[in-house]
A and B are shown apart, each in its own frame.
Chain A
Amino acid sequence: MREAMTPLERFALLFMDERPDRLITAPFVTTAAAAFAGVSPGACCRDGALLARAQIAAQEALRHDAFFVFSDVAIVAEAMGSVLRFAEDRVPLLDVPVVREARDVDGLPLPGPDRGRFPVYLEAVRILHETRGDRVPVFCLVPAPFTTAAGLRGAEDFLVDTIADPPLAEALVLAAERATVPLLDAIVLAGGLPALVDPLASASVAAPKTYRALALPGTRRLVERLHRLDLDVLLHVCGEITPILEDLAATGADLLSFDRAGVAEVRDAVGDRMRLAGNVSPVTILSRRAEEVLEETRRAIREGMGAPRGFVLSTGCEVPPGSPPENLAAFYRAAAAAGGVP
């Protein structure tokens, strides 16, 4: 008699270039998880226990293969002094960036794992690891340095800096990288798999040469650091990635999660070097008909299953809170039909 594998076993096999027993299904149910626990998204961002509870409730209801500890992409910038605006019904947004002028960079602190809301993430990771960590992997999504730099300076000013004042932009990214290291180390010790998310680095926002010059080096160094511990690294970049596919492969990340690109295209370009995770559009899930979700999910599976180093069925970005239940159901139905979630 064969027994089903646990999600953790599936991911472990994927990272050893082995085929798990079924399609790994790991949509980014992050902010949307709050509703499954009957709590507000805003509360989850400030309370690790609630964040963990929401993840558990969503995973028990939907039976996908991973926990994602995540609140927002400003968490590192906040720990370095940027001020965020919180609300009950959404994740926090950047309010006052800490770097107003170039000289502010020198005074940026190197936050320890007890700064800002790092303890929220770490508590959530610890709870998930202690209660479910023998069967479900706990990914903890941390902004990559380029995205954090935008949170230190304000996205618009930072993007201007990348053109008008590259040394400042570089200094910001370096400071962000240094500040990220202690958080990554602490996540591992709490039992989580640190993953890097870099929405600001996509080709929809920054030019490919900017990615190469500013985003790639720091991301690659963080991946190398995690590889020193022999951990497998998920890198998520939303938006347009086609022009930077080779650069994303050059980061050394093991599992590339992407948004706006065809799975077949990404598979053919970098699928021999990276495992792929993608990429049903959150927009489709939020605002189209269930049949369209079904069709898009089927296509992602069809194209992803041929990825030489393995494929994870996921969403291109976070599942939007308030997505119609029938659309979410359509995603999982397509996964189940392909041998994914039961």
Chain B
Amino acid sequence: MSSPVRIDATEWQRRFLDLAPETRREPRYLRHLGEREWAHYLKPPSSYLPYGFRRLRRMRFDGDVRALRLFSFAMEETERLFRAKQEGLPVVALMGDYGAVAPLLGAFPGVVTFYPDFCYFTPFLAESDVLLDRAERLGIGEDTCYVRAAAGAFAARANWPDPDLVVVSTGASCDDLAATAQAAHDLGHPTLFLDIPCRKDPAPWLRVTRFEPADGRPPVEAGLVDRLVAQYREFLARAGEVLGQRSDEVALAASVSRARRMRRTIREIRGHLASAPAAPLPAYEAMLAEFAATHGFGDPDECEAVLAGVRDLVAERAAAGVGVLPPDAARVVWATPPPDPLLFTLLEDAGGRVAGSEYLIASALTLPPDEPDPVVAVARAFLAGSLLGSSAARAKSVVAEVRRANAEGVVISNLFGSSHCGAETPVIRRAVEEECGLPVLSFDVPRPAPGGVASQVKNRVEAFVEALTQRRRTCGRP
């Protein structure tokens, strides 16, 4: 196996046009509906340029078709949602829970879920103010993080069809998100609220490795589990009323099992990313794989196949000792998902590699334990996530990730207006510096603009990677 290289949109277009028709046409979403011309979704990054996704011209991508399939599967979510709605499938918007409500909604076969929250990435992929400006006109300004783009999207109704139901997690979730969700609610969509309980620290689970609980169960306080389970039961009953369906217990169990399988696959991918001598996947595609855990991008059946392909790809590369970046790339853990994916390209071009990550969606990566009651399993897994606890708890999970990934440094991409970054970043920095003795780079992700990343940020990322490389020369590997 020769060493793969990252390629740009131009090269992908050239290669794509030469692909065999059966390769191009094999990936299809919503397969259970039968053959539909619009369901063939594999396409290269350049296909999205005329539709406004300008950042893609500046990024680099994995050159393997299996990674491209993941990329286009994620990018096609808008059309998938509109087509699903045209086919009469109920479309449900989920906000703020990451990984719990989507498997639960598997109790209603045919429901297609999505996270408006992930509009967070859209202004950057498009290098555009459009959604943020709209959010501002709705009164959600710069004191709210980039998730506010979702409010702008709700207001124009072009990013997704009108949802049949919006499910909003509030409470210990996040007030930036609550502000955004309120805008959706104000537009009159049927909305159900879930109250996310606050997890008290120190909780016993913190002593357990986050992704490999010793006994397969996150040992979360029983009281919290009971509270959440009661809410989930109530939620399923009310969602059934709104959707006009009865909750199907067999389908629910199958949905939770499928979530478990998907998360296991993603854990395997993450394992290779952390342990392979050379990065077996670029950071952007790796992040997309992680985000698939939240809801299978609305089509979990197809998503399983997509993720299995990526898992095989990284396993093959790891076994062959080849990767998309040089083996001596500086290993970092990236904390908080960067809304601007060009930052990954920048880090990788500078000689860095994302070996581990803490993207605030850990609740979607925890395996639902093998409980007889799937609702209990979902609640337990959810409570192990990193959004609900204290800053100290999140810092500990970053430290655990640093150790797992044998990282040489940590990058934290902060968000203007975010409710957690200001408090959390110094805590994470201190924990990483004191407990691991490693340098930390933190910076605010600037508002999207045409062109590349702001030169201050670019310089800082490049200097950080250079410093990590220097440090390796003087101190040896950590």
Contact = CB atoms under 8 A, between A and B. Distances in A.
Contact of A135 (B128, B138, B152): B128
Interface string A1-38: 11111101110110011101100000000000000000
Interface stretch (B50-58, B292-300, B464-472): B50-58
A111 B137 CA distance: 49
A228 B24 contact: yes
B450 A1 contact: no
A231 B49 CA distance: 10
Contacts of B156: 2-6, 9, 21
Contacts of A10: 158
Contact of A16 (B10, B13, B83, B127): B83
A129 B450 CA distance: 10
B320 interface: no
A230 B43 contact: yes
A138 to B, nearest CB: 7
B26 to A, nearest CB: 14
Nearest to A188: B46
A229 interface: yes
Contacts of A130: 54, 450-451
A137 interface: yes
B54 A191 contact: yes
B13 A13 contact: no
B50 A191 contact: yes
Contacts of A169: none
Contacts of B43: 229-230
Interface in A204-234: 225, 228-231
Interface string B23-64: 010000000000000101101101101111010010000000
Nearest to A190: B49
A274 interface: no
B130 A229 contact: no
A229 B190 CA distance: 37
A185 interface: yes
A134 interface: yes
Contacts of A6: 130, 156, 158
B134 interface: yes
A8 B51 contact: yes
Interface in B134-176: 134, 137-138, 152, 155-158, 161
B284 interface: no
B86 interface: yes
Nearest to A125: B50
Interface residues of B, number: 41
Interface string B434-476: 0000000000000000110000000000000000000000000
A191 B49 contact: yes
A24 to B, nearest CB: 13
A17 B130 contact: no
A287 interface: no
A13 B130 CA distance: 17
Contacts of B134: 3
Interface in B394-409: none
B235 interface: no
B1 to A, nearest CB: 28
A230 B43 CA distance: 7
Nearest to B138: A1
B79 interface: yes
B281 to A, nearest CB: 24
Nearest to B126: A134
Interface residues of A, number: 36
A48 interface: no
A166 interface: no
A200 B362 CA distance: 60
Contacts of B126: 134
Nearest to A137: B50
Contact of B79 (A16, A191, A193, A228): A16
B254 interface: no
Contacts of B276: none
A154 interface: no
A229 B157 contact: no
Nearest to A194: B50
A118 to B, nearest CB: 16
B463 to A, nearest CB: 28
Contacts of B47: 188, 229-231
Nearest to A136: B52
A230 B24 CA distance: 11
B73 to A, nearest CB: 13
Contacts of B24: 228
A189 interface: yes
Interface in A101-147: 129-131, 133-135, 137-138
A21 B158 CA distance: 9
A188 B49 contact: yes
B205 interface: no
B359 interface: no
Contacts of A12: 51, 78, 158
A18 B87 CA distance: 12
A278 interface: no
A41 interface: no
A288 B451 CA distance: 46
B416 interface: no
Contacts of A193: 50
21 contacts: A4-B156, A5-B157, A5-B158, A6-B158, A9-B156, A12-B78, A17-B86, A18-B82, A129-B54, A131-B450, A133-B49, A134-B130, A135-B130, A137-B50, A185-B13, A190-B49, A228-B16, A228-B17, A229-B13, A230-B41, A231-B50
Given A130-B450, A189-B46, A230-B41, 12 more contacts: A1-B138, A3-B152, A8-B52, A16-B38, A17-B82, A21-B156, A137-B50, A138-B50, A188-B49, A188-B50, A189-B13, A230-B40
Q: Which 5 A-B pairs have the closest CB atoms?
A: A134-B128, A9-B158, A3-B155, A193-B50, A3-B156
Interface of B: 9-10, 13, 16-17, 24, 38, 40-41, 43-44, 46-47, 49-52, 54, 57, 78-79, 82-83, 86, 126-128, 130, 134, 137-138, 152, 155-158, 161, 186-187, 450-451
